[in-house]
Amino acid sequence: MSGKQLFAAALVFGVGITIAFAESPTQSDVSSWKTYRNETMGFETRYPRNWHLRTVKGTAPETVLVEETPQLRKPHLAVQFWIQRQANPQGLSIGQWYTDQLRAMKAVPPPTTNTSISGRPAVRMEAVGTLGRTFQFLTSLNKKDIFEITITEPSSQTQLDRTYQDIVPPSGS
């Protein structure tokens, strides 16, 4: 079985996406949530029944956006799943690939931590900008493709919203 098949099997046929969060809160009741499986991208996730799912195809990276309906005076919650095909042609570890990307952009590294997604080494990056606080989780899907989860919240929020922690539960759930 190839690395890509192993990752897809762990995500699609396992418990879905798992990320190691700094805190491991207990999960909410998600029994009424929908499940989305994308075999092409190699992942499965759960999301609240009242949220919407959109897939984006074309020349850009493969993308799935899961979001709630925007509400007045309430932060808009959304999670974006991406695959960057052939983004890691040298097959570097995710940590080395991430370091090389920052070096190539001559960027000052935003705060990052090492974590895992479905047992695979991952990098968690956090940045605050005009759109809010962005959390990005990056891991290797296989030797050349990068799997990314992006979450944007209001700048004032320093912890991931509880809903995100339920969509992307901590490792070991």
* Cα–Cα nearest to 21, from 128, 162, 139: 162
Residue 173 lies in a domain: no
Residue ranges in the chain whose pLDDT is less than 50: 1-16, 18, 20, 22, 24, 170-173
Which tens digits make up the pLDDT trace of 60-74? 678 899 988 877 877
Count: domains in the chain: 1
Residue 84 lies in a domain: yes
Residue 172 lies in a domain: no
H helices of 55-151, in order, are: 94-105
Domain of residue 8: give its range. 3-167
- In sequence order, what are the residues at sequence separation of 6 or more whose Cβ sits closer than 8 angstroms to the Cβ of residue 124? 19, 112, 113, 114, 115, 135, 136, 137
For residues 40 and 83, give the distance between their C-alpha atoms in angstroms, rounded to a whole number.
10
Residue 161 lies in a domain: yes
Judged on CB neighbours under 10 Å (0-12, 13-18, 19+), 149 is buried
What's residue 49's pLDDT? 92
Residue 15 lies in a domain: yes
What's residue 94's pLDDT? 93
Query: CA 48: distance to chain centroid?
Result: 16
What's residue 9's pLDDT? 33
Residue 104 lies in a domain: yes
DSSP 16-30: ---B--SS-PPP---
* Cα–Cα nearest to 64, from 73, 75, 51: 51
**CATH number where 47 lies:** 3.40.1000.10
